[in-house]
Amino acid sequence: MLAVVKQTGETPFALLHKPELLPWLSWYWEAFWLLSPARAIHQGSIGNIPLSEMRAYMEIFQLKDNEAKWLFIRMMYALDSFYVKRVNAEIKRKTDVERANRER
């Protein structure tokens, strides 16, 4: 979006009205992006972040409390489910457009 600002001089609506990330959520957000490359990539879609990777992250950062671990897993699954659904929908849309263009 910053490229759009540079090219057009206009700030996109989404950037003007982006939600504020609460400080206590930033740890989960950073963990999600750190773990994101560990996901499997299948033919034409991406998979979820493996639980084994989440477990390794919790060990590295020494999450000991079971409630904290459970919250971490739930937060990662919530972020990941939304992300995977959105990315796979975009992949499908692009694939459908390419297929339609080839059939012309």
Calpha distance 49→38 (Å, rounded): 6
Domains of the chain, by residue range, sit at 22-103
**pLDDT interval class at 3 (50, 70, 90):** confident
Across the range 77-84, mean pLDDT stands at 96
The per-residue pLDDT for range 5-16, each reduced to its tens digit, is: 778 888 878 778
Residue that wins the pLDDT comparison between 55 and 96: 55
Across the range 48-57, mean pLDDT stands at 97
If you ran DSSP here, which 8-state letter would residue 37 be given? G
Calpha distance 80→47 (Å, rounded): 9
Calpha distance 79→27 (Å, rounded): 13
DSSP string, 39-55: S-EETTEE-PPPHHHHH
Calpha distance 16→51 (Å, rounded): 35
In this prediction the pTM is 0.77
**pLDDT interval class at 57 (50, 70, 90):** very high
pLDDT at 1 over 80: no
